[in-house]
Structure 1
């Protein structure tokens, strides 16, 4: 039986999945992650689809993504010695202004994607490092890229442009939107399970350490809270979210911060961590219940509510609100705070359903369906790889 490996390489992490092909849809075999790559105490975790723990601990330092991938391959080879890897699917953050579908990876396409690194300097190089490591270890497998930006590539022009001289738009300075693989999964899931809602006006809130919101009509993105970079829109675990550009001028001119220092501040020391002074983890903030953590949560939910209004305005109304991502799927408090007082928009939360983490957490009388749907970016990547194999059976097995 043939299999697909999915890889999602972050700056210091590598998420992976193993999927079996042969049926109408890829079947999950196992998933896992390597965290804190290049740092002391690298942590690994993996489990089967049935919940069997394959790894959970600190096997030793891993200095780079290549060594992390080696660990993954040893684990998969030891656990599933008979599996044949025919394709490797990769999450790539940035596909530029034109790519709107998954892309087979070649030396030429990797070079082109590397040129986009200035648009996502903290993500793209690590994504491509994972690609190169996988190509070296699976020389006969099809390699395919799935892009976080692709889902948003059909926005109306006014949702993509900044009010800068047009020459910058032509150079690629525009709103791209991210978390596209997550939104694609939610769109596909709604098409299968709630086709009437899928055909309507849906706002999806992907809330995790990275957070954004997407406005969809008929399952297609027409607006996103993230813009040129993964910094824009909502506050996140360590990222600032929307910021007055004048703050950047002040930091440069009055505080004397360099570009690298500002990047470190905005990407790694802001958001929930910066506001709380404690942690970027919502679970930790909820348990701590200090003045600072309460304020951090209040700002987080305030911004979600504000963007919910904006996304609903883009859609001309709203039929469904979907929570997904680590916080969206698990934080009853955040969902309650977001929905509280939103009756004017047609949202009425069922407290008991919310407390139980039900799939539908709105009341029967709510004009807007409020849902909790766990996302599955790895399955989106596996499906793209399976489609490529089906379209190119000879090349894939050459």
Structure 2
């Protein structure tokens, strides 16, 4: 049974086609730098074959068409009808969804309505669902929710210090994001530790970034909040800001609340600070002082959250790096571990430079340092196949 997993992020589209139940990956691809110059397509398929393509400013609709059509063009499948199910990563399920859901008119409407919580994610994910449905009208589609992992967050970490009646009335709480990957890397880290009783800090660092604290496999705290805008400085998202800035900027700019939130989501973060790019690679190659400032701000916030979570957990057994930046940026890993050395964390710099997944700890490190590549797709396909059977 062929199941296509669609993982649409704020700046990239990842996908994998699985043959289940064997979990064989027939093809995997990524279209990165969406809506930016130099959008890149890369698809791995067959016996180590790689297809590459580059266009300027591939948008969401074009990327969905490329994803489906290239699978057929490259003879990964004979017909689009060979795909029997499609599963989408959906960021915000709030307290409406705590597990996989089959897409129908009602669930799609709920996903769209929850766009208020994830305005740069849920609407585009719903659009992908619509696009795929128009091309594969007879194929069942499913949603796997990032927020499901955070249902276990204790109330003291999940609630805000606002009047309790508003928390109850409007369901306002910390919903988090990247839960599918935090779940996956937590499970993998505990396998590497040989126990299911471990305290961890997991760092999903990419264009969208979040840090989570886990106790015995369950989320204890997370940097993202009611929306994915909270927490770390990100590619285009501001992260933590004083809420009083919203009315202040509305008055000074003559803007609406929605316009200010759009700015915080799409024109802030490393892009807004640097004025150059939202991509870490571009900033590291730049000599501009604002690019350096953006990097320093990103790094400082990662360190602040990681250190606070280690303290909150009374120490940890391991920290885990994942996500595009976490997996590929040795400088970030090195700097974070240097600042966390007071907790007994020590990175093996040779292993860090080699960037091989696995244990990157120095022999005398009191805390394990793991590099575990994100694999949200395998976590998703397992959930969907289990749901179907």
User: For the Cα contact (< 8 Å) 2:237–2:266, is it kept in 1?
Assistant: yes
Moved more, 7-16 or 291-300: 7-16
Establish whether residue 150 from structure 1 lines up as the match of residue 148 from structure 2.
yes
Q: Distance in 1 between matches of 2:277 and 2:46?
A: 30
Task: Name the residue aligned to 2:177.
Answer: 178
Q: Say if 1:27 and 1:191 are closer, same or farther in 2 by CA, change over 3 A.
A: farther
Q: Distance in 1 between matches of 2:334 and 2:248?
A: 36
Of residues 225, 236, 239, the one that matches 2:237 is 239
1:100-249, aligned counterparts within 5 Å? Answer: 100-170=98-168, 171-196=170-195, 198-249=196-247
Q: Distance in 2 between matches of 1:283 and 1:61?
A: 18
SS in 2 for 1:387: helix
Q: Distance in 1 between matches of 2:37 and 2:233?
A: 28
Task: Name the residue aligned to 1:17.
Answer: 16
Deviation of residue 15 (structure 1)? 2.8
Q: Distance in 2 between matches of 1:242 and 1:252?
A: 18
Q: Say if 1:45 and 1:135 are closer, same or farther in 2 by CA, change over 3 A.
A: same
Q: Distance in 1 between matches of 2:367 and 2:338?
A: 13
User: For the Cα contact (< 8 Å) 2:200–2:316, is it kept in 1?
Assistant: yes
Structure 2 residues not aligned, in runs of 5+ = none
Q: Say if 1:375 and 1:38 are closer, same or farther in 2 by CA, change over 3 A.
A: closer
User: For the Cα contact (< 8 Å) 1:99–1:153, is it kept in 2?
Assistant: no
SS in 2 for 1:116: helix
Q: Distance in 2 between matches of 1:283 and 1:11?
A: 17
Task: Name the residue aligned to 1:348.
Answer: 346
Which protein, 1 or 2, shows the higher relative CO under an 8 Å CA cutoff with sep ≥ 6? 1
Task: Name the residue aligned to 1:6.
Answer: 5
User: For the Cα contact (< 8 Å) 2:346–2:361, is it kept in 1?
Assistant: yes
Deviation of residue 82 (structure 1)? 4.1
- For normalisation by structure 1, the TM-score amounts to 0.89
1:325-340, aligned counterparts within 5 Å? Answer: 325-340=323-338
Establish whether residue 30 from structure 1 lines up as the match of residue 36 from structure 2.
no
User: For the Cα contact (< 8 Å) 2:307–2:340, is it kept in 1?
Assistant: no
Establish whether residue 48 from structure 1 lines up as the match of residue 45 from structure 2.
yes
Q: Distance in 2 between matches of 1:194 and 1:153?
A: 25
Superposed CA RMSD: 2.4
Deviation of residue 355 (structure 1)? 1.8
Q: How many residues align?
A: 384
Of residues 57, 64, 73, the one that matches 2:68 is 73
Moved more, 172-181 or 270-279: 270-279
SS in 1 for 2:98: coil
Q: Distance in 2 between matches of 1:226 and 1:336?
A: 24
Q: Say if 1:352 and 1:81 are closer, same or farther in 2 by CA, change over 3 A.
A: closer
